[in-house]
Amino acid sequence: MTRVLVTGGAGFIGSHFARSLHDVYVTVLDKLTYAGNRANLDGVRHEFVHGDVCDAGLLREVVPGHDLVVNFAAESHVDRSIEGAAEFMRTNTLGTQTLLQACLDAGVPKVVQVSTDEVYGSIDVGSWDESAPVRPRSPYAAAKAGGDLIAQAYATTYGLDVSITRCGNNYGPRQYPEKIIPLFVTRLLRGEKVPLYGDGGNVRDWIHVEDHCAGIRLVAEKGRPGEVYHIAGTAELTNKELTARLLEVCGRDWDLVEHVQDRKGHDRRYSLDDSKLRALGYRPEIPFEQGLKATVRWYAEHRDWWSA
């Protein structure tokens, strides 16, 4: 039976990826920081290992014997990285190198490094393809870019079969309520005000987490060593447009929206060209309006998951 190690697998995207695996033996490694939640794995057949991706000794015990390692372990919230960058560098860059070394030493056949469109910085028009230079503008993005570059170095220098995926903004059930959609939804459900940064004109590309996971599975199957693959979304919206849709779905009005000071170095727009992955057969399946309504419904029906 195929054995898959999912690092950061108790988090939002990692747990959805573990949930999407069938007829395989799944190991989840997670440090269980504030955003990691073992309840996210309810119903998933897996072996759980509580630990840090930076712990080389632990990885020497856990990694051997797996056919695929997918690295979701990361500090991921830009606002938190602005307040304190050190932990982001430790987990996202050093943690990636530590994991890759363990995979190399154990002879793991395939590794996927899960990354973000934020490593490119900001783009006014058009979309990035995979040849675009990385120009990160936040500590979070810089730390992720560092992990990606280490992955490419391990592919080139050591011949490790590691591919990199870069994706836009994810949404869906079980996302920790610090990111904009779960933050706004949980506040709107309580009748509380939501904070909209600046003029609300920052543009993001939205993808349902299940479509993202489908793209990662395809890269795990067909991705080439050292190559980057984009996984684009189904809706490119300003934050103001997104807010309007959330208000409509939640049955609330604009009087609950509070414009707040923009965050430091706030990238204006992200956009990915995913032609490379589509050539391998990738197609997103969840339309944004459908996925957003289902996501809001999930939070409305699972208040016990987020109310604490």
Q: Tell me: the pLDDT tens digits for 166-179? A: 999 999 999 999 99
- Packing angle of the helix pair 180-189, 239-250 (nearest 10 deg): 30
Whether pLDDT at 308 is above 80: no
User: Are 163 and 219 within 8 A, CB to CB?
Assistant: yes
Confidence band for 77, pLDDT divided at 50, 70 and 90: confident
User: Using one digit for the tens of pLDDT, what is the confidence trace for 191-220?
Assistant: 999 999 999 999 999 999 999 999 999 999
Please enumerate in sequence order all residues whose Cβ is within 8 A of that of 157, keeping only pairs 6 or more positions apart, or say none.
none
Please enumerate in sequence order all residues whose Cβ is within 8 A of that of 83, keeping only pairs 6 or more positions apart, or say none.
none
What confidence score (pLDDT) does residue 258 get? Answer: 97
What confidence score (pLDDT) does residue 197 get? Answer: 95
Whether pLDDT at 1 is above 90: no
Alpha-carbon distance 206 to 271, whole Å?
10
Average pLDDT, the chain: 96
Task: Given the residues 75, 117, 236, 274, select the one marked as catalytic.
Answer: 117
What confidence score (pLDDT) does residue 42 get? Answer: 96
What confidence score (pLDDT) does residue 211 get? Answer: 98
CATH of 3-170+208-234, one of 3.90.1150.10, 1.20.1050.10, 3.80.30.20, 3.40.50.720: 3.40.50.720
Whether pLDDT at 69 is above 90: yes
Confidence band for 221, pLDDT divided at 50, 70 and 90: very high
What confidence score (pLDDT) does residue 141 get? Answer: 95
Question: What does the domain layout of the chain look like in residue ranges?
Answer: 3-170+208-234, 172-204+236-265+287-306
Task: Given the residues 52, 75, 120, 140, select the one marked as catalytic.
Answer: 140
Whether pLDDT at 43 is above 80: yes
* CB crowding 88-125: b at 16 or more within 10 Å, else e: bbbbbbbbbbbbbbbbbebebebbbbbbbbbbbbbbee
229 has catalytic annotation: no
Whether pLDDT at 107 is above 80: yes
140 has catalytic annotation: yes
User: Are 29 and 38 within 8 A, CB to CB?
Assistant: no
199 has catalytic annotation: no
What the block records as the tokens of 187 is 């506040």
Q: Which of 51, 54, 45 is nearest to 100 (CA)?
A: 54
Question: CA 77, 306, 286, 18 torsion: positive or negative?
Answer: positive
Q: Quick one: CATH architecture of 172-204+236-265+287-306?
A: Alpha-Beta Complex (3.90)
Mean pLDDT is lowest, of 72-76, 145-149, 215-219, 247-251, for 72-76
What confidence score (pLDDT) does residue 303 get? Answer: 96
Whether pLDDT at 263 is above 90: no
What the block records as the tokens of 25 is 């033996």
Task: Given the residues 30, 118, 205, 210, select the one marked as catalytic.
Answer: 118
